[in-house]
Amino acid sequence: MSKPSPRVVLVTGASGGIGNAAAIAFAEKGDTVAVHYSASEAKAKATLEAVEKAGGSGALFQADLSRVSEIRRLYDEVYARFGRVDVVFNNSGAGAEALIQDTSEEQYDRMFDLNVKGTFFSLQEAIKRMGQGGVIINNSSVLGSHPMATTGCYCGSKAAVSMLTKCAAKEAGEKGIRVNAVAPGPVLPGMVGEDMVNRMVNLSPFKRIGEAMEVGRLCVAIASDDMSWVSGQIIGVDGAAFC
């Protein structure tokens, strides 16, 4: 079933990195983007300006996605503003490098509350509210299936996101909603520090790491009707670094 044009796309964590790139990539198709942010209103405003410059339209929405009440408020406000949501990109997330024995309870809670709890209850709201032809994309990670020392907490949270994606696809498919995940390797701009960039660049045969826009444009492709029979998939985007 073809989606209305322009579509309404909710991008969480749209104030920087992959979220910013995805918002712009959807705007390049003329879509309306609900630009979500948690704390950085200035960066979110810059994303909205870039969305409008790219040919789309949109509005800003603030919410703390580690709290279920805030997730529900976000969806209420987006639906009140636009009347529908056709695509959701659950991009908000947190990460930190630390050995398991050095990981604090605060670090653990921050990553699992945002990466897992936030994704789970955003999925819940999206599946309840979206109709036939809806598309949900979660942001997982290559580290959700490839363990790496000093990232145990992050790896565990992203493994959970990947499994949630597959379970949600089984349930949401009965309503005609597709659910997939992107699994990026390190990208710029993004959350990776210079040390990790230097370590990761040689893992890919292309001898570089990815660009956030390469993930953003993959999201646009996944949301297109050309991929109408693709659901429940975790799609890697890492330049063959972790294949």
127: Cβ–Cβ under 8 A, 6 or more apart, which residues? 136, 168, 171, 172, 175, 177
36: Cβ–Cβ under 8 A, 6 or more apart, which residues? 10, 11, 12, 13, 14, 19, 44, 61, 62, 63, 65, 74, 92
Please tell me what DSSP assigns to residue 114. Answer: I
Phi, psi at residue 22, to the nearest 5°?
-65, -40
Concerning whether 154 is annotated as a catalytic residue, the answer is: yes
The amino acid at 88: V
117: Cβ–Cβ under 8 A, 6 or more apart, which residues? 66, 68
Q: Are 181 and 163 in contact (CB under 8 A)?
A: no
CA 168, 178, 10, 51 torsion-angle sign: positive
Q: Give catalytic residues, as residue numbers.
A: 154
